[in-house]
Amino acid sequence: MVAWIFIFWFMQINKCVSAFTYISSCYYRISEEFHHEGDVVIGAFFPLHTFHTKKEKPHSTIPYYYLDNKIQYNFKNYQYILALNFAIEEINGNPSLLPNISLGFDFYNVRFTGKYIHSNTFNWLTALGLRNYLPNYNCKKRNFTAALTGTSWITSALTGTLLQLFKFPQITFGPYDFHLSDRGQYPSLYQMAPKDISLSLAIVSLVVYFNWSWVGLILPDDHKGNIILSDFSEEMERKGICLAFVKMTPATWTSYFAKFWENMDETNVTIIYGDIDSLEGVMRNIEQRLLTWNVWIMNIEHHIIDIADYFMLDPFHGSLIFKHNYRENFEFTKFIQTVNPNKYPEDIYLPKLWHLFFKCSFSDINCHVLENCQTNASLDVFPRHIFDGSMSDESRSIYNGVYTVAHSLHEMRIQQLQMQPYENGEGMVFFPWQLNTFLKDIELKDKRSLDWRQTIDTEYDILNIWNLPKGLGLKVKIGSFSANAPQDQQLCLSEQMIQWPEIFSEIPQSVCSESCGPGFRKVTQEGKSICCYRCTPCADNEISNDTDVDKCVKCPERHYANAEKNNCFQKSVSFLAYEDPLGMALASIALCLSALTAFVIGIFVKHRDTPIVKANNRALSYILLITLTFCFLCSLNFIGQPNTAACILQQTTFAVAFTIALATVLAKAITVVLAFKVSFPGRMLRWLMISRGPNYIIPVCTLIQLLICGIWMATSPPFIDQDPQTEYGHIIILCNKGSAVAFHSVLGYLCFMALGSYAMAFLSRNLPDTFNESKFLSFSMLVFFCVWVTFLPVYHSTKGKVMVAMEVFSILASSTALLVFIFGPKCYIILLRPDKNSFNHIRKKTLSRRKNFSKI
């Protein structure tokens, strides 16, 4: 397929080169006008060639575009004349429309300057054929009906300024312009083109479809450009699209020329809106600069073929064009195949086309006569970028305009016949201004009302330009837009049919900043467009599961954000379980220490009659050892899934067990003091020793602690609480202490008892040391106090399972201190030094102490 396209293109170039080898002098005979005879004449003002003062020589491969250094042809516009001929031939051949009356036309070339536009209009109105004008006088007494003008609003406005003086009907075939719809200024001007009210919506819908948020806009610098800029800005703001730049095409390209093309590479997509005349300079410069990195979205097809011709590349390849949705006119295509210079001998352009492309030679006698032509010569074999056989929007408007005039004349003739029947077959006699009454109400051939009297046309076809290699010139319909359809069905596209510019291997991207993916949010940058932003990760426990979000969403309380922060997952319940390494370790330690305490109890029971057991109050030792066993075991309440009963038992068993243990230590310390003070006079001390008064300390202290715990449980008991913040992805179930005051009161009471025991043991530090455990009691209390004083700040600085583990560790550490420092030395003597655990050893040690005392 590509090979055949290349061969076809190469053959066309060869044709052009061979045709350029010789150009007859007939080619230089330029005429600005020609006439097609008829009873009633329509004036046709079309831009087909103009004059330039270029110094450079034309390119040798494109003689069809430049005649010489001054004259420039645009043969694409020749279709306007063909559409005019086609409509007139249909009407003249229709016996039911204007019977016995033929239509003709006068063609005048438009040079795009006000002087020549008015000159042509005067020349036509006076019908002198000279440049000497006689206003209000028609030399040839011809029946003029209406003027066809275009392609820009400026051309129509300049012509209308003159024609409206005579209320002369004027039909415009260029793009619809609100300025020309002013009936006060242009009372006799009628526009054939449908309004483009929905065009901005259609183009923006296409931009949204491809997620293009950063586009450029090129508009004519006139009232129409300002209106369409307002429409585009409104639609784009609603859809979140930003303008990278707005270029207004100037009337002249002098000092503004270089500045206009600055920043053109900021975007990959540029919208070009305007009419053919206003955009001619822009199109020409795009081709000259070979701007192939841009996707051009246009409302017109470019007609410019510049001097610089590149073999393969075309800046407009892959462009997208929005055209009003018309049904294809196949009769027009057939008509084009029959067109030749012999059929229209008055046409000044057909001989030149045949001379260039079909190797025809001009006759030496008459430049309208051609010789040695190819037999199969036809316009439909022309390259599409030179001449396109499908009817353009402008040609369709010309076709409809001719039919509008014809139907108006027909209605006028019927009215005239009803009022005053013609005699002897006389033709129509009327003034052109009389036609205005009928033009306002006439219907077109396809039964649609004229645009100024009907609902706005909202149907568009979307065409894709295929021009690779250059010269292919295909316009392929790849979609459509209907503003009347439901919002999600307005745009219909076939992506697989679209050909993009050569540098894009896939759908082009056109954004100021790369999209922020899930897990990120947009942060606009100060002083820049909202489409220019930076991406910032969502905050902790916040997600975004879409692209380009402005705000992240916080996960619900019982959910957490995943690492990518694009989804929320339900948190799993967590607590200090026996299966956890930390819980397993603490539980194992507690059980081991409990077993060790039971082993110590067994040692003391077995050696209960030995001096070391008896000397340190055997009963209090048993109570303390049993209590320490419960202290170790109560730590197991803190491990496992909490419940209400466990939460209450955690604090009460801990408080009561440690109170009994500390009260027992206090009783032992007081007992030691009383034992060594009993030799001194004093009934009270003797009574306390005999009645075992220190043992009552245990129930008294325990009752006080029970009272504190009772108040705690009655006012604000512990309860099950949840901590969803501490451990990521988990909800920690733990026991809330309830009243912090009560909890700290319990700890304070324990520390107070520890200090009391330490004070009593400290007082007996200098007493005889035979089985005196005062030093060990004081040291164990010192360690106990330090553990719980250190516990408070550490406890409040941790959360979750670590906080629970910290309390368990403090319980085990303080209980271990009591066990090791109080009973460790005794077990050492009982098990390893039994020789010291005898009455003989005690007696020897006592005698030795008395001798030392006597020497002193």
The Cα–Cα gap between 353 and 16 comes to 11
Q: State mean pLDDT over 135-163.
A: 78
Residue 131 pLDDT class (50, 70, 90 cuts): low
User: Taking 60 as the threshold, does the pLDDT of residue 413 lie above it?
Assistant: yes
Longest dimension (CA), the chain: 178
Residue 5 pLDDT class (50, 70, 90 cuts): very low
Q: What is the pLDDT of residue 307?
A: 44
DSSP one-letter code for 346? T
How many residues are recorded in the chain? Answer: 856
User: Taking 70 as the threshold, does the pLDDT of residue 28 lie above it?
Assistant: no
Candidate from 1-15, 73-87, 721-735 with smallest mean pLDDT = 1-15
pTM, two decimals, is 0.65
The Cα–Cα gap between 244 and 226 comes to 17
The Cα–Cα gap between 61 and 58 comes to 9
User: Taking 70 as the threshold, does the pLDDT of residue 425 lie above it?
Assistant: no
SS3 call for 543: strand
Tokens of 554: 């916080």
Burial 41-59 (b: 16+ CB within 10 A, else e): bbbbbbbbbbeeeeeeebe
Residue 93 pLDDT class (50, 70, 90 cuts): very high
In this structure, are residues 394 and 326 in contact, taking their beta carbons and an 8 Å threshold? Answer: no
User: Taking 70 as the threshold, does the pLDDT of residue 139 lie above it?
Assistant: no
Q: What is the pLDDT of residue 209?
A: 93
User: Taking 90 as the threshold, does the pLDDT of residue 81 lie above it?
Assistant: yes
* Range(s) within the chain of domains with CATH label 1.20.1070.10: 581-855
The most confident of the ranges 18-22, 52-56, 359-363, 782-786 is: 782-786
Q: Please give, one letter per residue, the 3-state secondary structure of 366-416.
A: CCCCEECCCCCCCHHHCCCCCCCCCCCHHHHHHHHHHHHHHHHHHHHHHHH
The Cα–Cα gap between 792 and 655 comes to 15
The Cα–Cα gap between 81 and 104 comes to 12
Residue 325 pLDDT class (50, 70, 90 cuts): confident
Q: What is the pLDDT of residue 485?
A: 86
In this structure, are residues 508 and 206 in contact, taking their beta carbons and an 8 Å threshold? Answer: no
The Cα–Cα gap between 303 and 386 comes to 9
In this structure, are residues 716 and 740 in contact, taking their beta carbons and an 8 Å threshold? Answer: no
SS3 call for 666: helix
User: Taking 90 as the threshold, does the pLDDT of residue 111 lie above it?
Assistant: no
Q: What is the pLDDT of residue 378?
A: 85
Q: State mean pLDDT over 604-633.
A: 85
Q: What is the pLDDT of residue 592?
A: 93
The most confident of the ranges 565-569, 607-611, 758-762 is: 565-569
SS3 call for 462: strand
CATH domain 2-195+328-451 topology = Rossmann fold (3.40.50)
Tokens of 677: 């003070």
User: Taking 90 as the threshold, does the pLDDT of residue 123 lie above it?
Assistant: no
SS3 call for 743: helix
Q: E strands within 636-740?
A: 719-723, 730-736
Burial 544-581 (b: 16+ CB within 10 A, else e): beeebbeebeebeeebbbeeebbebeebeebbbeeebe
Render pLDDT for 482-510 as a digit per residue (tens, 0 to 9). Answer: 888 888 889 999 999 999 988 888 899 88
User: Taking 70 as the threshold, does the pLDDT of residue 690 lie above it?
Assistant: no
* Range(s) within the chain of domains with CATH label 3.40.50.2300: 2-195+328-451, 199-324+458-497
> Which DSSP string do the residues of 556-624 spell out, in sequence order?
PTTEEE-TTSS-EEEPEEE---TTSHHHHHHHHHHHHHHHHHHHHHHHHHHTTTSHHHHHT-HHHHHHH
Q: What is the pLDDT of residue 528?
A: 82
In this structure, are residues 414 and 43 in contact, taking their beta carbons and an 8 Å threshold? Answer: no
In this structure, are residues 428 and 406 in contact, taking their beta carbons and an 8 Å threshold? Answer: no
Candidate from 354-363, 480-489, 518-527, 683-692 with smallest mean pLDDT = 683-692
Residue 23 pLDDT class (50, 70, 90 cuts): low
The mean of the pLDDT values for the chain is 79
Higher-confidence position of 9 and 477: 477
Distances (CA, A) of 553 to 540, 549, 564: 10, 10, 14
Residue 385 pLDDT class (50, 70, 90 cuts): low
User: Taking 70 as the threshold, does the pLDDT of residue 13 lie above it?
Assistant: no
Burial 322-354 (b: 16+ CB within 10 A, else e): bbbbeeebeebeebbeebbbeebeebbbbbbbb
Residue 271 pLDDT class (50, 70, 90 cuts): very high
Distance between first and last Cα of the chain: 129
Non-local CB neighbours of 9 within 8 Å, separated by 6+ positions = 383, 469, 470, 471, 472
Q: State mean pLDDT over 559-583.
A: 86
- For the segment(s) 581-855, the CATH number from 1.20.1070.10, 1.10.1740.10, 1.10.760.10, 3.10.105.10 is 1.20.1070.10
Higher-confidence position of 123 and 135: 123
Residue 454 pLDDT class (50, 70, 90 cuts): very low
Q: What is the pLDDT of residue 402?
A: 93
Q: State mean pLDDT over 43-71.
A: 56
Q: State mean pLDDT over 622-641.
A: 89
In this structure, are residues 374 and 66 in contact, taking their beta carbons and an 8 Å threshold? Answer: no
Residue 669 pLDDT class (50, 70, 90 cuts): confident
Tally of CB atoms within 10 A around 67: 18
The Cα–Cα gap between 313 and 608 comes to 110
Tokens of 570: 């339900």
Question: CB burial class (10 A; 0-12, 13-18, 19+) of residue 766?
Answer: exposed
User: Taking 50 as the threshold, does the pLDDT of residue 852 lie above it?
Assistant: no
Which residues are 172's β-sheet partners? 149, 191
- For the segment(s) 199-324+458-497, the CATH number from 3.40.50.2300, 3.30.450.40, 1.20.120.1200, 3.90.1150.10 is 3.40.50.2300
Tokens of 324: 């009003």
The Cα–Cα gap between 744 and 651 comes to 11
Burial 815-836 (b: 16+ CB within 10 A, else e): bbbbbbbbbebbbebbeeeeeb
Tokens of 802: 């670590």
Q: What is the pLDDT of residue 59?
A: 38
The residue type of 262 is E
Residue 58 pLDDT class (50, 70, 90 cuts): very low
Q: What is the pLDDT of residue 321?
A: 92
Residue 421 pLDDT class (50, 70, 90 cuts): low
Residue 257 pLDDT class (50, 70, 90 cuts): low
Residue % of the chain over a pLDDT of 90: 17
Tokens of 188: 């006799």
Residue 842 pLDDT class (50, 70, 90 cuts): low
Q: State mean pLDDT over 280-295.
A: 80
Asked, as a colleague might, if the bond just before 151 is cis with ω within 30 of 0, I would say yes
> Which DSSP string do the residues of 164-181 spell out, in sequence order?
GGGT--EEE-SS--GGGG
